[in-house]
Amino acid sequence: METRRIRNFSIIAHVDHGKSTLADRLLEVTHTVEDRKMRQQLLDNLELERERGITIKLVPVRMNYRSREGVDYVLNLIDTPGHVDFSYEVSRSLAASDGAVLVVDAAQGVEAQTVANAYLAVDQGLAIIPVINKIDLPSAQPDVVRGEIEEVVGIDASEAILASAKEGKGIGEILEAIVSLVPAPSGRRESPLQALIFDSVYDNYKGVICYVRVFNGVVRTGQAVTFMATGLNYQIEEIGVFRPQMEPVEELGAGEVGYVVANIKSLTEAHVGDTVTDSRAPAQSPLPGYRKIKPVVFCGFYPIEREDYPQLREALEKLQLNDSSLFFEPETSTALGFGFRCGFLGLLHMDIAKERLQREFDVELVATAPNVVYHILRTDGEIQEIHNPADLPEISRVEEIREPLIRITTFVPTDYVGKTMQLCQDRRGAFVSMDYITPERVRLVYDLPLAEFIIDFHDRLKSVTRGYASLDYEQRGFQAADLVKVDVLLNEEPVDAFSFICHRDASYHRGQTVVRKLKELIPRQLFEIPIQAAVGKRVIVRQNVKPLRKDVLAKCYGGDITRKRKLLEKQKEGKKRMKQIGRVSVPQEAFLAFLDVS
């Protein structure tokens, strides 16, 4: 394949502005997919994506296109997600592309993620083709939107293409713009092989499949290759392209996008961002790869059945292959047994990971309440990073607790500015700036503790603005705050899974909520059980579960012996599913019910 006939591009946009629909039209017009196989949002393969109507994973696909001048091109399109939690997917797609089609909804205009994603593309030096989509809508205002793209995103939009992905308008212009404005890949076939792994997935038949963009050289079946970061060697078993299903080819040369299958044994050997090179004639240095991404939201995943622990580990490894921003490490809890502490880029990411584990890998699990990562400045001067409130050192050894801060950018109609500011203030937000995008819309910027954001900030924002606000955020490092760890004690014994860290002012209120809920869930036992919330040694909330004299056999007085025996057996069974916290038996169900709703 001649590199000058190749164009690699991504489609980027704010959520719902029409990326996936536009991708469908491009596939149709280029006859990549037969008409009878065409269905809506074809590239959203995951069942979850189709159900929720959102794109979670990047998807590459190769198309053939004959331009109006009669020249044949190969176009590699990478459809990307729009939600902030998945911006790592977007940046990886962009690193495999030379241009980006920026889709903006003609009725909604520029939104928070339009700007964020466009900046990612600008940072990577990509050619950007602005497309104003949904011009079929009666409320479309293409001229206003053109102005917004120029003013807010800061790119020339005089040539922006007016399109309707739904009705198939403007699709030809978009294809022409891609071949004329997106530069051909710059690599050389003659140079040593350098192929960037930009994603990977586990397949039951083929094993690990790596998605690659070849920057230099050629990769062929049978070739001996080295993964530069790990130094491990493999033989290439299969090479192919996405059409969009996998289709084997003989080779992939400089500029091409496709996949490679090698005899990769362990799931942890394929790293996204690694460079594949030729073992016999290796490249001097690897490609830049990706910046390491750090998870900021953590929770525990525990198998519901203890025996499922190994399955959960394997499922996490397989999922991590396809979701390189997922983090996990083993952890044990007195209440829940063996499980994993998992790290995510946000709550939606956590939610999606949990669902994918259950659906794609068939493991039943319970997730503990999420918390953010904390940096603890200890009295010995060291900084300790903790992922679990239970790991907080003795309070006498803690100098300062630092929490992650984010900077949120919201685009809000002027009518809702007051309410949005109020919401930010209630969440310990610090005002940064406000400016008018148009007379009707304002860009509002606040710094906010991430912990306040993950509770339900996005939902609250949607409700106070009736869904008219859009939101994006970026991490802003760590900041000390007056935070305390609240322990929950059952009969004087702390229960690790229930500990949490929060702002001192909120500790009483949150402690009370937890204690009240636990009181409902814990069955009465032979003795009185105090449930307490405490900060250090100071108890801030206390309630009691009243004692009960429970004599199961009393009911069967004079009854037949087999029934008595059955009851005793049943009680024994029940005991097995009880967790012993000191002298208190807590039904497993109580933990699950408690954790699932919090």
Q: Which of 8, 63, 82, 157 binds ligand GDP (CB under 6 A)?
A: 82
Q: Which of 166, 375, 476, 517 binds ligand GDP (CB under 6 A)?
A: 166
Residue 440 bridge partners (DSSP): none
Pick the closer one to ligand GDP by CB: 97 or 532.
97
Q: Which stretch binds Mg ion (CB under 5 A): 47-55, 139-147, 233-241, 469-477?
A: 47-55
Contact map string, positions 54 to 73, toward ligand GDP, x by CB under 6 A: -x------------------
Pick the closer one to ligand GDP by CB: 16 or 251.
16
Shortest CB 149 distance to ligand GDP, Å: 16
226 is in an annotated binding site: no
Residue 64 to residues 29, 250, 295, 319: CA-CA distances in angstroms? 10, 18, 38, 32
Tokens of 397: 């050894």
Element spanning 275, H or E: strand 275-278
Residue 79 to residues 22, 125, 187, 323: CA-CA distances in angstroms? 9, 19, 23, 16
Q: Which of 6, 12, 13, 102 binds ligand GDP (CB under 6 A)?
A: 13
Nearest CA to 357 out of 325, 307, 387, 313 is that of 313
Number of other CB atoms surrounding residue 121 within 10 Å: 24
322 binds ligand GDP (CB under 6 A): no
16 is in an annotated binding site: yes
Number of other CB atoms surrounding residue 142 within 10 Å: 18
Residue 164 bridge partners (DSSP): 169
18 is in an annotated binding site: yes
Pick the closer one to Mg ion by CB: 53 or 154.
53
Residue 536 bridge partners (DSSP): none
135 is in an annotated binding site: yes
16 binds ligand GDP (CB under 6 A): yes
The entry of Mg ion, ligand GDP, none that residue 17 binds, CB within 5 to 8 Å by partner kind: ligand GDP
Q: Which of residues 24-53 bind ligand GDP (CB under 6 A)?
A: 41, 53
465 binds Mg ion (CB under 5 A): no
Look-up: residue for tokens 């939201």? 297
Q: Which of 8, 10, 20, 76 binds Mg ion (CB under 5 A)?
A: 20
- Angstrom distance (rounded) from CA 68 to CA 29: 13
The entry of ligand GDP, Mg ion, none that residue 15 binds, CB within 5 to 8 Å by partner kind: ligand GDP
Pick the closer one to ligand GDP by CB: 82 or 109.
82
Contact map string, positions 123 to 142, toward ligand GDP, x by CB under 6 A: ----------xx-xx-----
Tokens of 105: 């909804």
133 is in an annotated binding site: yes
DSSP secondary structure, 118-162, as one string: HHHHHHTT-EEEEEEE-TTSTT--HHHHHHHIIIII-S--TTPEE
Look-up: residue for tokens 């809506």? 40
> Could you check whether the bond before residue 494 is cis, i.e. omega within 30 degrees of 0?
no
21 is in an annotated binding site: yes
Alpha helices by DSSP H, 469-526: 504-521
Q: Which stretch binds Mg ion (CB under 5 A): 15-23, 85-93, 244-252, 536-544?
A: 15-23
DSSP code, position 169: B
Shortest CB 173 distance to ligand GDP, Å: 14
Phi, psi of 2 (to 5 degrees): -75, 130
391 is in an annotated binding site: no
State the binding site.
16-21, 133-136
Binding site for Mg ion (CB under 5 A): 19-20, 55
State the binding site for GTP.
16-21, 133-136
Binding site for ligand GDP (CB under 6 A): 13, 15-21, 41, 53, 55, 82, 133-134, 136-137, 164-166
